[in-house]
Amino acid sequence: MKGIRIVTILLAGGLLTLACGGGGGTTGGSSSSGGKIGLLLPETKTARYESKDRPLFEAKVKALCSGCSVLYQNANQDAAAQQSQAEAMLTNGVKVLVLDAVDGAAAAAIAVKAKAAKVPVISYDRLVTGTDALNYYLSFDNAKVGQLQGNALLTALNGKANASVVFINGSPTDNNAKLFKQGAHSVLDGKVTVAKEYDTPDWSPDKAQQEMAGALTALNNKVDGVLAANDGTGGGAIAAMKTAGVKPLPPVTGQDAELAAIQRIVAGDQYMTVYKAIKAEAEAAASLAVTLAQGKTPDSATLNGKVNNGAIDVPSVLLVPVAVTKANIKDTVIADGFWTKNDICTADYAAACTAAGIS
């Protein structure tokens, strides 16, 4: 909890500096000078993008800049479609692109085209790799996400010898998925048996369910833990185990603190998730985008690091992820206003919420 607060405060300071950087044209916090800002998100199967990232980003741009507008597209996991969407935005005269890439390597072509048009690119959440045409990167410490998942699983396994763990990783085209996987392996390798491991195309929950069903058949249902990279893939793995009659369910990890996952944690079907303060991420991106759309130079003090993308060190802001189990739902996602008690404790979960001390 301490971590979340500190980051939020740091960011709030950063947001102010970013919004005022360069001075001039600002009245009452909202400036009329600005222009079009392009926001490109990668998919719709994961709840965060349409329910959190997009509305929070748009609201912050509106609050900071009356002269700005947001052009929005979601690529539905299609990298070629995302390239066309970006090109259309460049033709349409956007002054900055905020890009959450479907395919981090392929998206280098988008950054190169933007650079040729003198349009800065902010890599949002996922890093665009292998190009010097990238200006900024805003995300979380993604190796840490995998470490939190691995450590939580070890806690849940409670020293069990030769525990058999199935890894359901994310999409192989997402640089974050690579980092989550590395982080989890750095904690679990040598301590558990990696019985089966899959990279899940498109982060698809349906494909995760198929992968888990295959693992259960191959392992005769003997699984002691599931390292699922996010809540969507974790949900798929849990569905496969329920169908195969696995009882009790072994500990399953996740990420995103999706409402459905928080409810599964309350009910005891999922062991943990990783909360990432998407509001802080989306608002920092909006603030940086407004600064750039207004032709101002962001204050470098607001960027807390550099991340190498295989071509250059990209000025970056990396936020801190937090592990969430039944024991700290109240002190994390509820305390931070990500979900309310009423969101979580619907009729089906009322008794489990009371037992968990949430209602």
Would you tell me which residues interact with ligand BGC (CB under 6 A)? 43, 46, 48, 125-126, 170, 174, 176, 203, 230, 255-256
Q: Which residue has the tokens 């600064």?
A: 291
Complex with ligand BGC: residue 224 or 231, whichever CB lies closer: 231
Cβ at position 43, least distance to ligand BGC in Å: 5
Instruction: Compute the chain's Rg from CA coordinates.
Output: 21
Complex with ligand BGC: residue 199 or 256, whichever CB lies closer: 256
Q: How many CB atoms lie within 10 A of CB 128?
A: 29
Complex with ligand BGC: residue 181 or 296, whichever CB lies closer: 181
Complex with ligand BGC: residue 123 or 255, whichever CB lies closer: 255
Please, which residues have CB within 8 angstroms of residue 155's CB and are 6 or more apart in sequence?
A: none
* Contact between 14 and 317 (Cβ < 8 Å): yes
The helix-helix angle for 231-243 and 205-218 (nearest 10°) equals 40
Cβ at position 150, least distance to ligand BGC in Å: 17
* Contact between 324 and 263 (Cβ < 8 Å): no
Cβ at position 142, least distance to ligand BGC in Å: 7
At 206, the amino acid letter reads D
Cβ at position 182, least distance to ligand BGC in Å: 14
C-alpha 39/C-alpha 290 separation (Å) is: 12
C-alpha 204/C-alpha 221 separation (Å) is: 22
C-alpha 65/C-alpha 61 separation (Å) is: 6
Complex with ligand BGC: residue 86 or 352, whichever CB lies closer: 86
Complex with ligand BGC: residue 82 or 176, whichever CB lies closer: 176
Complex with ligand BGC: residue 95 or 279, whichever CB lies closer: 279
Cβ at position 144, least distance to ligand BGC in Å: 12
C-alpha 214/C-alpha 100 separation (Å) is: 31
Q: What one-character DSSP code corresponds to residue 355?
A: H
Cβ at position 141, least distance to ligand BGC in Å: 11
Cβ at position 255, least distance to ligand BGC in Å: 6
